[in-house]
């Protein structure tokens, strides 16, 4: 059995359609009114805007907020893009900074090589480090100077400041430098200011130890370590490093050479040591023999002859 519809529903549909038609007509009239180009219509539009728009601030607030949000989002996008560009530029600047620091350090090392004060009798050949051994059991480097440059086994090699090692193997165009940290390295040194002589012994660590110190109680951490020149291994007076003490109480040397950045090495040409074979010139003259009759006539000074004496009164 069909239910009877309420009487109110019979009027709802036509009323909605009527209201929609009226709204459309009003909007169409408003559109036509806004399109008409007439002074009277313009004044009417101005009056309508003055009366209606200020009363619709509450309705425009969400629209204004939405517009502001969109603008802020666009501004955030621009800031994000600028931030990404700045990050890329910062990475490039870091790369340039690192390159500039490397060039500055290389320039400083070259200046050190030119300005370091050595024995004036020592001459040198500067070479570029080509490679290192890369072995935990042998520490050495290759340089690009060899027999064609007059390099000889046993010569000392330095960086811009301190002793690095010695030549141990010479080819025509390359040479091998055994570092002071190698286990086969044994260097006679002098510890200043006490002047104690000792032996620097490599143990494949960055800080080789010092052994056979003459008087261990006279040396202190911080003392300078120089080559002593004993045995003709190295010229005397080359800077090796600074004395330090490990936690076990053993004396070690912080090397002056920068082993982390070995790029240029100076090979010192050793000069021949002057041998003293005749000690007679170093002994004082013999004393006069004691005689009862006076001094030895052989040691008496020679007097001029009588004929050589000027005559009195001859002026």
CB 248 within 8 A of CB 290: no
Model confidence band, residue 306 (pLDDT cutoffs 50, 70, 90)? very low
What CA–CA distance (Å, rounded) separates 102 from 96? 10
What CA–CA distance (Å, rounded) separates 126 from 82? 49
Radius of gyration of the chain (CA): 50
Average pLDDT over residues 202-222: 90
pLDDT attached to residue 274? 58
Average pLDDT over residues 140-150: 90
Average pLDDT over residues 260-280: 72
pLDDT attached to residue 202? 92
Strand partners, 265: 127
Average pLDDT over residues 273-279: 58
Q: What are the angstrom distances between the C-alpha of 236 and each of 229, 232, 239, 270?
A: 4, 9, 9, 11
Average pLDDT, the chain: 77
Between 213 and 65, whose confidence is greater?
213
What CA–CA distance (Å, rounded) separates 172 from 9? 113
3-state class (DSSP) for residue 239: strand
In the chain, the percentage of residues whose pLDDT exceeds 70 is 68
pLDDT attached to residue 135? 61
pLDDT attached to residue 209? 92
Token pair for 265: 């090495």
Average pLDDT over residues 34-61: 68
Least confident of 35-49, 209-223, 228-242: 35-49
pLDDT attached to residue 55? 63
């Amino acid at each position: 059995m069909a239910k009877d519809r309420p009487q109110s529903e019979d009027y709802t549909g036509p009323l909605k359609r009527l209201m929609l038609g009226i709204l459309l007509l009003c909007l169409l009239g408003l559109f036509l009114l806004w399109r008409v180009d007439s002074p009277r219509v313009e004044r009417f539009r101005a009056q309508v805007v003055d009366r209606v728009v200020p009363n619709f601030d509450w309705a425009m607030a969400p629209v204004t907020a939405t517009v502001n949000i969109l603008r802020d989002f666009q501004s955030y996008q621009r800031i994000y893009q600028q931030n990404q560009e700045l990050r890329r530029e910062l990475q490039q600047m870091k790369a340039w900074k690192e390159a500039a620091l490397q060039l500055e350090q290389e320039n400083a090392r070259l200046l050190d090589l030119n300005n370091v004060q050595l024995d004036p009798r020592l001459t040198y050949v500067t070479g570029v480090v080509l490679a290192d051994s890369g072995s935990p059991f042998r520490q050495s480097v290759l340089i690009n100077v060899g027999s064609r440059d007059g390099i000889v086994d046993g010569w000392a090699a330095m960086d811009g400041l301190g002793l690095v090692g010695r030549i141990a193997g010479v080819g025509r165009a390359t040479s091998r430098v055994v570092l002071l940290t190698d286990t086969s390295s044994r260097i006679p040194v002098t510890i200043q200011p006490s002047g104690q002589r000792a032996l620097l012994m490599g143990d494949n660590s960055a800080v080789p130890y010092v052994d056979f110190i003459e008087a261990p109680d006279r040396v202190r951490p911080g003392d300078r370590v120089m080559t002593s020149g004993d045995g003709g291994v190295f010229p005397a007076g080359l800077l090796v490093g600074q004395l330090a003490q490990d936690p076990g109480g053993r004396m070690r040397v912080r090397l002056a050479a920068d082993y982390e950045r070995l790029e240029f090495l100076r090979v010192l040409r050793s000069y021949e040591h002057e041998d003293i074979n005749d000690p007679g010139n170093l002994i004082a003259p013999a004393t006069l023999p004691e005689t009862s009759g006076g001094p030895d006539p052989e040691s008496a000074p020679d007097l001029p002859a009588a004929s050589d004496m000027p005559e009195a009164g001859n002026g």
